[in-house]
Amino acid sequence: MALLPILQYPDERLHTVAKPVAQVDDRIRQLVQDMAQTMYDAPGVGLAATQVNVHERVVVIDVSENSDDLLVLINPEITWYSEDSEVYEEGCLSVEGVYDKVERASEVKVKALDENGEQFEFHADGLLAVCVQHELDHLDGKVFVEHLSLLKQNRILNRIRKQQREAKKLAAEKVTV
């Protein structure tokens, strides 16, 4: 088991399109375990392999109240989107401190492989539907802030750059004192 570092926006590696998993083997099962531990530790309700700099189509999700219902999605595909959409205030472990409204399909049907390589399908609504769409976006190299207006994206980028400048300044002061 290992905690994996999470890439932070605007790291360009978050824009990598992940490749399908060719074989669900022990290497993938180890990745799933490490991703689950990283997600629970954060804590978050989902994590895509892209966020830990592994560009293969693996996602872990747990939207249960007691964080005891892990959902493992390998090579997930959304096979149906409801016409109805819903707005949800989203956050992301790769964009710390940013929360904003994103409109997505309110229900989806998903097809995926589990950690034994068995195909399964399910229907999702509520937070699970939001989370599945958010995580599949990550696998396609898309971060939720890219659903926001360019004005908002620029404000977020400027805020992050300012924070990085200040952190750098503080670190430099510590060294010289």
Catalytic residue among 77, 86, 121, 135: 135
- Which of the choices ligand GNR, Ni ion, none does residue 47 contact, using the CB cut-off of 5 to 8 A by kind? ligand GNR
- Look at the block and give the residue holding tokens 């994996």: 4
Q: What is the DSSP code (8-state) at residue 146?
A: G
Q: Are 61 and 131 in contact (CB under 8 A)?
A: yes
Footprint of ligand GNR on 29-58 (CB under 6 A): 44-48, 51
Q: Is residue 135 at the binding interface for ligand GNR, with CB under 6 A as the rule?
A: yes
* CA dist list (Å): 30 to 1, 4, 35, 67, 105: 8, 12, 9, 19, 32
Q: Is residue 112 at the binding interface for Ni ion, with CB under 5 A as the rule?
A: no
Footprint of Ni ion on 14-43 (CB under 5 A): none
Looking at beta carbons only, is 53 or 117 nearer to ligand GNR? 53
12 part of the active site: no
Binding mask 84-103 for Ni ion (x = CB under 5 A): --------x-----------
CA distance 76 to 139: 10
